[in-house]
Every structure is written in structure tokens, then in C-alpha cells.
């Protein structure tokens, strides 16, 4: 109906537009005498802008349609046929006097009707702009809060060790996996005091009394989840303050992952070996990591793989040691023990292979730190140090602190660490030497040093031997 009103009014106005060169104008008197009652009524009912009607009318005039007189019976019938107007509109295409228009509009003049329409359209446009602005603001708000809202659908274990994931909501159900303390699953349903969850590759039921979900899970998720920033540029500059002009605190290689402390105005506060600094969010991707359930099959496969890796590492270390001893004995005719440093750092406890690794690593204390390096004598960074130390025992490890967090087997924290274990931090790694200490390539200022293992928050402790 709205389009019909525009067409009717436009046809009438077209006959009242005068073309002068490249310009056109509307004769107000002609408009008053030519605008059809039905067209004006439709405009008023549908809120169509008079500007729209005039534009369409102008187009008709320019295209040559202004020669058609709406008073002509044939033209009137043609319009009625094309627009398929209902009979109730009567002679919709015929010309109407100003008096008749004023009767339809309740006595208002045509000019006042036009003014009212323009005013109403302006108000409508303003309201639409306000609604659009509010909608955009709401969308931005939703985007900021979307992750927090998603936490409500999590199921988080609160136990001393783990809660079994069973095949049915009953203690008679088969154990299909384990949801460890502070581990997270996605809520699927609730049945008789059991939560059905999906976590990792494990789907099943856990006792509700050992977990939280809904609103209670929101704050807990923030505590147990780890916000991670993964580097997406070749060498990321960590700055002392959030700004491109701020001094550089340290450098981080591509694909390395850092623990996020805070996110503000396009900058991410992270923790690195040199201290807390800031990186531009443009050069990292952000995510929240949660520990998930381990299925029974995954647990069996992991234990088997870890044992095989330990055996392979021990064999490689043994062969490397024999080769080293033979080379030294052949060259100098003396035993390895007689060639040790005058005052070696004593390492004890743990496996013989792990103790040997720790002992070997300590002899490089005092040597320089070099970003991206892997030379134990001329300069190395933290992951290069660990990689090169273990390479001496025939073990190949990645030159990446974040990648080292998945090597070997997880020992369950610093309390269970033994000499030779790899201690992992945000953007940094070292080798545990016993007595609560690590040896590591720290910074360009300090070089390779020995520090207390708990001097920073430990993310993982991994055992190779």
C-alpha cells in the first residue's frame, strides 16, 4: 500500500513540476490542485516522506511522463489498472481541488500537511538513529560479556584429586574417564543429582555434589582458567608500559605463549622473565585454557607413551655417556671423573640420568644469555639452554618454552620435582637441580644463573627421564 501511495502522489506531482534547463522546481499551486486524495491519504497513513514523492515525481517529469494529464480519463484508468487500486479508493487517479484535500485532512492546508509529514519523518529518522546506536552499544556489551556468560554452562570439579566420569548417572556405571580437581566440562543435562558433561574426548556423568555449574561457576572459572596470549609475529616486543613508544622490556618469539595478567585498551599485560610488561593485542591471539577430563583410553595411552619415552631417553642418555667417556678416555687417557671442575655444584636425588643432566647444566653458570641462541658457551636463551643440555644426552627437544610444557610427563607440580626435570613458567623454562632450585638462562643482564624454583609462578614441571 505504501508503494501505491508514492506512485499515485508522484504521478500527480509530476504534472506540476516545471523543468528549466538542468533544474526543476515544484509549483506549489499546481501541487495543491493536482495531488490525489487517495495518494495523500496513503502518504499520511504510511508516513511516507514528501521528499520521496517529489523525487519520484521529478524522475517522471525528466523522463517525459509529465505530458500525461491525470485528468485524462484514459490515463486515470491506466493508473488504476497498473496499481490495482481497490474500489474503496474511488477515483484515485483523478485530479482533486485544494478544498477536497483539506476536507480529507481535517481542514489542514496542503503546505501544513507537507510540513507535518517532514517533521514526523525527521522525528522518525532521529528515533531510528537512536535505536541503531543503542543496538550497536548492546551488541558491543554482549560481545564483552559473552565469554563470562559462556562460563555459566561449565561444570567445574571441586575435589581433592578427581571425580569419576561414569557411563550412566549411577555409581554402578562404568568409569569412562576422570575429571580432575579444577578441571572443566560443558553442562549437558542434570539427572537425579548427576551432571551429564562433555569434557575433552569424554562424555558421561559426574556427581553434582563434587562440582559447580551455573552462576557459581562464573567466578570459579576465572580463577581456574588460564588466559593465554599466543604470539603471532616473528619477534614480539614486550614493553614496560602500554604504548609503542615505551621502552622494550624483552623479546618473545613467534608461537610462544604468555600468561595474561590484564587486558586494557588494545594492550595485554603479560609476565615474562624480565618482569611484567605489555604487548599490543594486534600481535597476539587470546584464549582461556581449562584443564579438561581425561578419558580412560587417553589415560592408558598417556601412561604407556610416557614410559616408552622414559625408556628411550634413558637409553639415549646411556649411549651418549658411553660415547663421551670413550672419546675422552681415548684422547687423554684418563677417566671422566678426573676431568670434572675443581669445585663442581653437587646435585643429588632423583634418577641417575636426571641427576647427570642437572649436574651437566650447572657447569655453564655465568655464561651469557642471547635471545634466539642455543650455544651453552657463547650464548643461549632459556629454551635453547634446556634444548642444548638435553641434546648432550641424545634427547631432541623443541626450541620453545611453550612447546616444552608438553614434553615428557607431568609430575604434578614443584613439590614432586626431581633433578633434571624441566620447570616451566610463562615464557620461560629452567632445569631443576634439587633443593628447590633451578639453573636457567635468565636474561641478557644476568646470563645463566641459579635461582629458587618458586621465584615465579610455575605452570608445569615435566620429566624426561
Each residue of 180-193: pLDDT tens digit?
Answer: 999 999 999 999 99
Nearest alpha carbon to residue 385 among 273, 460, 276, 247 = 273
pLDDT of residue 350: 64
If 0-12 CB within 10 Å is exposed, 13-18 middle and 19+ buried, where does residue 363 land? middle
Distance in angstroms (rounded) separating the CA atoms of residues 125 and 312: 74
CATH number at residue 236: 2.30.30.40
Are 354 and 439 found together in one domain? yes
Are 304 and 283 found together in one domain? no
- Say which residue, 26 or 374, is predicted with more confidence: 374
Are 452 and 429 found together in one domain? yes
pLDDT of residue 116: 61
User: How many degrees, rounded to 5, is the angle at CA 20 between CA 17 and CA 22?
Assistant: 105
Domains in the chain, number: 3
Residue where a domain terminates, one of 245, 264, 289: 289
Q: What is the DSSP string of 369-383?
A: B-TT-EETTTEE-HH
pLDDT of residue 211: 95
Q: Is residue 98's pLDDT more than 50?
A: no
Q: Is residue 292's pLDDT more than 50?
A: yes
What is the chain's mean pLDDT, rounded? 76
432 contacts 386 by C-beta, under 8 angstroms: no
DSSP class of residue 349 equals S
| DSSP helix/strand/coil, 357 | helix
Are 397 and 273 found together in one domain? no
Q: Looking at the domain assignment, is residue 361 inside a domain?
A: yes
Each residue of 430-452: pLDDT tens digit?
Answer: 999 999 999 999 999 999 999 99
Are 238 and 280 found together in one domain? yes
Are 282 and 352 found together in one domain? no
Each residue of 56-71: pLDDT tens digit?
Answer: 545 544 444 444 444 4
Q: Is residue 317's pLDDT more than 90?
A: no
pLDDT of residue 27: 41
Q: Is 202 a catalytic residue?
A: no
Are 270 and 357 found together in one domain? no
Q: Looking at the domain assignment, is residue 319 inside a domain?
A: yes
Q: Alpha carbon of 58 to those of 94, 200, 245, 400: distances in Å? A: 19, 66, 58, 71
Each residue of 105-139: pLDDT tens digit?
Answer: 455 554 565 566 566 666 666 666 666 666 655 55
pLDDT of residue 155: 96
Are 402 and 283 found together in one domain? no
Return all residues near 153 (Cβ < 8 A) that are at least 6 apart.
Answer: 186, 187, 213
How do 379-380 and 374-375 pair as beta strands? antiparallel
Are 284 and 340 found together in one domain? no
Q: Looking at the domain assignment, is residue 157 inside a domain?
A: no
Return all residues near 108 (Cβ < 8 A) that are at least 6 apart.
Answer: 102, 116
Residue where a domain terminates, one of 81, 108, 135: 108
Helix segments in 151-193, DSSP class H: none
Q: What share of the chain is helix, strand, coil (3-state, %, to 5)?
A: 45, 25, 30
- Contacts from 158-164 at CB under 8 Å and sequence distance 24+? 158/182, 158/210, 158/211, 158/212, 158/220, 159/210, 163/206, 163/207, 163/210, 163/211, 164/206
Q: Is 211 a catalytic residue?
A: no
Q: Looking at the domain assignment, is residue 178 inside a domain?
A: no
What would you report as the CA-atom Rg of the chain, rounded to the nearest whole angstrom? 39
Percent above pLDDT 90 for the chain: 48
Distance in angstroms (rounded) separating the CA atoms of residues 303 and 40: 83
Are 455 and 332 found together in one domain? yes
How would you label 367-403 residue by residue, b for 16+ Cβ within 10 Å and e otherwise?
bbbbbebbebeebbbbbbbbbbbbebbbbebebbbbb
Are 281 and 397 found together in one domain? no
Residue 75 belongs to domain spanning = 2-108
How would you label 32-41 residue by residue, b for 16+ Cβ within 10 Å and e otherwise?
bbbbbbbbbb
Each residue of 143-182: pLDDT tens digit?
Answer: 456 777 889 999 999 998 899 999 999 999 999 999 999 9
Residue where a domain terminates, one of 108, 123, 148: 108
What is the rounded average pLDDT of the residues 32-55? 47
User: How many degrees, rounded to 5, is the angle at CA 172 between CA 170 and CA 178?
Assistant: 75
Catalytic residue selected from 202, 382, 399, 424 = 382
Residue 188, Ramachandran bin (φ over 0: left; ψ between -120 and 50: alpha; else beta): alpha
Distance in angstroms (rounded) separating the CA atoms of residues 437 and 119: 78
Q: Looking at the domain assignment, is residue 115 inside a domain?
A: no
- Which residues lie across from 164 on neighbouring strands? 178
Nearest alpha carbon to residue 51 among 62, 43, 61 = 43
DSSP class of residue 241 equals S
Are 240 and 278 found together in one domain? yes
Each residue of 230-266: pLDDT tens digit?
Answer: 999 999 999 999 999 999 999 999 999 999 999 988 9
H or E segment and range at residue 208:
none
Each residue of 322-373: pLDDT tens digit?
Answer: 776 776 666 665 544 444 444 455 555 567 888 999 999 999 999 999 999 9
Amino acid at each position: 500500500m505504501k508503494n501505491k501511495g508514492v506512485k499515485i502522489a508522484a504521478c500527480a506531482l509530476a504534472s506540476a513540476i516545471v523543468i528549466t534547463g538542468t533544474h526543476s522546481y515544484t509549483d506549489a499551486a499546481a501541487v495543491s490542485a493536482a495531488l490525489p486524495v487517495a495518494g495523500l491519504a496513503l502518504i499520511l497513513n504510511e508516513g511516507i516522506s514528501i521528499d520521496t514523492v517529489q523525487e519520484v515525481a521529478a524522475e517522471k517529469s525528466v523522463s517525459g511522463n509529465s505530458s500525461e494529464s491525470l485528468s485524462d480519463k484514459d490515463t486515470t484508468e491506466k493508473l488504476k489498472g497498473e496499481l490495482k487500486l481497490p474500489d474503496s479508493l474511488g477515483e484515485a487517479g483523478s485530479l482533486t481541488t485544494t478544498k477536497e484535500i483539506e476536507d480529507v485532512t481535517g481542514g489542514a492546508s496542503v503546505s501544513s500537511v507537507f510540513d507535518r509529514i517532514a517533521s514526523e519523518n525527521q522525528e522518525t529518522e532521529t528515533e531510528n538513529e537512536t535505536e541503531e546506536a543503542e543496538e550497536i552499544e548492546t551488541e558491543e556489551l554482549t560481545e564483552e560479556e559473552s565469554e563470562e556468560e559462556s562460563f555459566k554452562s561449565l561444570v567445574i570439579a571441586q575435589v581433592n584429586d578427581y571425580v569419576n566420569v561414569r557411563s550412566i548417572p549411577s555409581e554402578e556405571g562404568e568409569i569412562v574417564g576422570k575429571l580432575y580437581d579444577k578441571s572443566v566440562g560443558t553442562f549437558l543435562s542434570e539427572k537425579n543429582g548427576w551432571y551429564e558433561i562433555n569434557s575433552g574426548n569424554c562424555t558421561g556423568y559426574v556427581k553434582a555434589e563434587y562440582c559447580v555449574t551455573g552462576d557459581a561457576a562464573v567466578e570459579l572459572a576465572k580463577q581456574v582458567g588460564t588466559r593465554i596470549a599466543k604470539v603471532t609475529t616473528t619477534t614480539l616486543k614486550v614493553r614496560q608500559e602500554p604504548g609503542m613508544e615505551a621502552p622494550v622490556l624483552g623479546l618473545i618469539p613467534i608461537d610462544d605463549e604468555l600468561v595474561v595478567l590484564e587486558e586494557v585498551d588494545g594492550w595485554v599485560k603479560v609476565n615474562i622473565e624480565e618482569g611484567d610488561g605489555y604487548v599490543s593485542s594486534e600481535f597476539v591471539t587470546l584464549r582461556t585454557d581449562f584443564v579438561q577430563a581425561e578419558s580412560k583410553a587417553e589415560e592408558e595411552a598417556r601412561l604407556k607413551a610416557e614410559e616408552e619415552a622414559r625408556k628411550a631417553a634413558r637409553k639415549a642418555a646411556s649411549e651418549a655417556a658411553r660415547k663421551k667417556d670413550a672419546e675422552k678416555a681415548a684422547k687423554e687417557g684418563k677417566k671422566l671423573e678426573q676431568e670434572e671442575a675443581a669445585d663442581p655444584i653437587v646435585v643429588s636425588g632423583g634418577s641417575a640420568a636426571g641427576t647427570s643432566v642437572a649436574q651437566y647444566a650447572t657447569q655453564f653458570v655465568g655464561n651469557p644469555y642471547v635471545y634466539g641462541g642455543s650455544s651453552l658457551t657463547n650464548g643461549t636463551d632459556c629454551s635453547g639452554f634446556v634444548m642444548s643440555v638435553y641434546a648432550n644426552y641424545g634427547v631432541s627437544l623443541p626450541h620453545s618454552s611453550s612447546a616444552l610444557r608438553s614434553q615428557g610427563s607431568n609430575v604434578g607440580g614443584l613439590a614432586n620435582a626431581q633433578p633434571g626435570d624441566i620447570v616451566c613458567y610463562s615464557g620461560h623454562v629452567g632445569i631443576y637441580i634439587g633443593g628447590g632450585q633451578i639453573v636457567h638462562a635468565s636474561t641478557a643482564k644476568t646470563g645463566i644463573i641459579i635461582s629458587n624454583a618458586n621465584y615465579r609462578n610455575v605452570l608445569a614441571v615435566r620429566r624426561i627421564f
